Amino acid sequence: MGLFGKKKTEKPEDKQPEKQPEKQPEKQPDKQPEKQKERKPYIRGAGGTIVTKSILNGTSKLKWLFRQEGGPGNGWIAFGDKDSQEYVNDAKNMQVVDFNTLIDIEPAAAMVFYMPMGSDLEFRCDRSGKYFVDTRTGKEIREPVKHPAQIAFEKNLKFLNKKSYPAEFFQSLFTKSDKIDVFMAGKADFPTGEAVLADPLAYLGSKYETVLDRKIPAGSYPVELSICRSQIAGLRVLAARILLGDKQAVCYEIAMPKGKKSEDSGKPGVLTFFGVDTGLACFADAQVSEEYRAFFENWQKENPGKNKYTDYFEALFQKSYEEYPKVQNPGGSFLEWKLPESGHSIVMFASGMGDGIYSGYWGLDAEGEAVSLTALFMNPEYF
């Protein structure tokens, strides 16, 4: 903070509350005051912010705003245009309030809330409008700063659904590290070997599922999840894969829909991705997909008006979470489910940041044989 040399204020727990003189209650009129309406926050979960009392009581206007690493609350500290060094040195002149309170006083503060720790800003108001200046770079900030997760999401969106990626990238996704966990979520059954990628709640068993052109040997295969613990996006499934054998993949190619070959990728009308509209994806066999469709068609007849997720799967996902809470979000991030009649298994899993379009990728060995199938959702570099 340019004016006062970034003086670190005392933490709220270190200072004594300012003693206020006792105030005699004023005589109230017979009419009862109207109930104050609850204010909707501009930014949910904004957290506490240190603000000088001169700003809060209106004797000064917002002038300096900086974000301190390790400070109380969200780290933001606000000084007014009439605050002296002596004034801000006295902890009694500082108060912790919700950042939304500062926005109430000066709405422009909402623009910079998502700026990182170490930000040092001067607020200006002139004929050109209200804006902030980064005191370190001199850059003017006139547009709202995006949430880090939004920035990462936009980068990720541009990264997805390419024809191929380096083998090292896929290998890194399934290599355990401080940021990534690799977890075997169950096994998926492929009685015919005709593989399907789909959103299990929205499209599995419908004409909108993606049946792949390349078949795999009939069998039951483990489903591995690459789970990222991101500081800005929380726990997310980066990718999921089925392992078809012990051989190492040396290259990867996009999984083409039935009737299309790799060379058709990019041609008009050739869609190489599958859609997700409920935040879930799965691998399945074409026969199991048909069994799934028939099961829920009958279930819907027996349970008219009920929802496939809230009235059937929600409790099962919750049970999965309770069994493996360290690798899931509350409510469940994956589920191994067996069809009641055939006993065939499907593994459902959360799709990265949620709804969108995603692609599958075959991992090929040196002879060009498929050794894995991966559904890619996120690049951990951005998160």
Answer yes or no: do 366 and 284 share one domain.
yes
Instruction: Phi first, then psi: give them for residue 172, nearest 5 degrees.
Output: -65, -30
Q: Which of 100, 119, 145 is the last residue of a domain?
A: 145
Q: Around Cβ 331, how many Cβ atoms within 10 Å?
A: 11
Answer yes or no: do 139 and 258 share one domain.
no
Answer yes or no: do 316 and 181 share one domain.
yes
Residue 39 pLDDT class (50, 70, 90 cuts): low
Q: Which domain holds residue 81?
A: 42-145
Answer yes or no: do 72 and 198 share one domain.
no
Residues 45, 353, 297, 343, CA torsion sign: negative
Helix (H/G/I), strand (E/B), else coil: 323 = helix
Judge contact between 221 and 346, C-beta under 8 A: no
Query: According to the model, what pLDDT value does residue 261 have?
Result: 85
More confident site: 297 or 40? 297
Q: Which of 127, 145, 163 is the last residue of a domain?
A: 145
Answer yes or no: do 87 and 171 share one domain.
no
Q: Is residue 183 part of a domain?
A: yes
* C-alpha–C-alpha distance, residues 297 and 379, integer Å: 37
Answer yes or no: do 105 and 165 share one domain.
no
Q: Around Cβ 57, how many Cβ atoms within 10 Å?
A: 10
Query: According to the model, what pLDDT value does residue 71 have?
Result: 73
Answer yes or no: do 273 and 289 share one domain.
yes
Answer yes or no: do 212 and 333 share one domain.
yes
Q: Is residue 29 part of a domain?
A: no
Q: Is residue 175 part of a domain?
A: yes
Distance of CA 150 to the CA centre of its chain: 9
Answer yes or no: do 135 and 175 share one domain.
no
* C-alpha–C-alpha distance, residues 175 and 178, integer Å: 10
Answer yes or no: do 121 and 171 share one domain.
no
Q: Is residue 363 part of a domain?
A: yes
Query: According to the model, what pLDDT value does residue 23 have?
Result: 43
Residue 309: C-alpha distances to residues 253, 274, 321 (Å):
33, 20, 15
pLDDT tens-digit readout, 162-221: 999 999 999 999 999 999 999 999 999 999 999 999 999 999 999 999 999 999 999 999
Residue 27 pLDDT class (50, 70, 90 cuts): very low
Mean pLDDT of 244-249: 93
In DSSP terms, 198 is beta-bridged to: 282
* C-alpha–C-alpha distance, residues 285 and 99, integer Å: 51
Global pTM value: 0.78
Q: Is residue 26 part of a domain?
A: no
* C-alpha–C-alpha distance, residues 208 and 203, integer Å: 6
Query: According to the model, what pLDDT value does residue 5 have?
Result: 53
pLDDT tens-digit readout, 324-347: 999 999 999 999 999 999 999 999
Residue 336: C-alpha distances to residues 200, 258, 284, 285, 323 (Å):
12, 26, 12, 14, 12
The answer, yes or no, to whether residue 35 has pLDDT greater than 60, is: no
In the chain, how many domains are there? 2
Answer yes or no: do 75 and 192 share one domain.
no
Lookup: tokens for 295: 């099961």
Strands 274-276 and 334-338, bridge-based pairing? unpaired
Q: Which of 121, 145, 169 is the last residue of a domain?
A: 145
Query: According to the model, what pLDDT value does residue 28 have?
Result: 45
Answer yes or no: do 253 and 352 share one domain.
yes
Judge contact between 274 and 161, C-beta under 8 A: no
Residue 19 pLDDT class (50, 70, 90 cuts): very low
Residues 109, 113, 115, 120, CA torsion sign: positive
Q: Is residue 348 part of a domain?
A: yes
Q: Is residue 27 part of a domain?
A: no
Mean pLDDT of 146-171: 95
* C-alpha–C-alpha distance, residues 341 and 291, integer Å: 9
Q: Is residue 3 part of a domain?
A: no
